[in-house]
Amino acid sequence: MDKKNALRAGAVATGTTLMMLLMSSPAFALVRDDGDDPGSSGLSVVETLGLFVVAPIVLFAVIAGLVMVMDRSKKRA
């Protein structure tokens, strides 16, 4: 019975993945759409790392710090 469930779960996961890949194929299009205005220049490497690596880490640290500071489950001395 466990093999049947594993095969069924694998088939569902594979089918879902394939459908998502097929549905996202327009995202790889090279032709510009009407109203597409990409701007004059892209982000530099430093700006990209700051936006997608440093900013989430800083945001996580701030939220974790606030949770630790405002934790009221500690015993009072």
Confidence of residue 58 (pLDDT cuts 50, 70, 90): very high
Percent of the chain exceeding pLDDT 70 equals: 84
User: Which residue is listed with tokens 């009407």?
Assistant: 34
The DSSP symbol for 41 reads -
Segment 28-43, tens digit of pLDDT: 667 777 777 777 878 8
Q: What gap in Å lies between CA 51 and CA 45, rounded to an integer?
A: 10
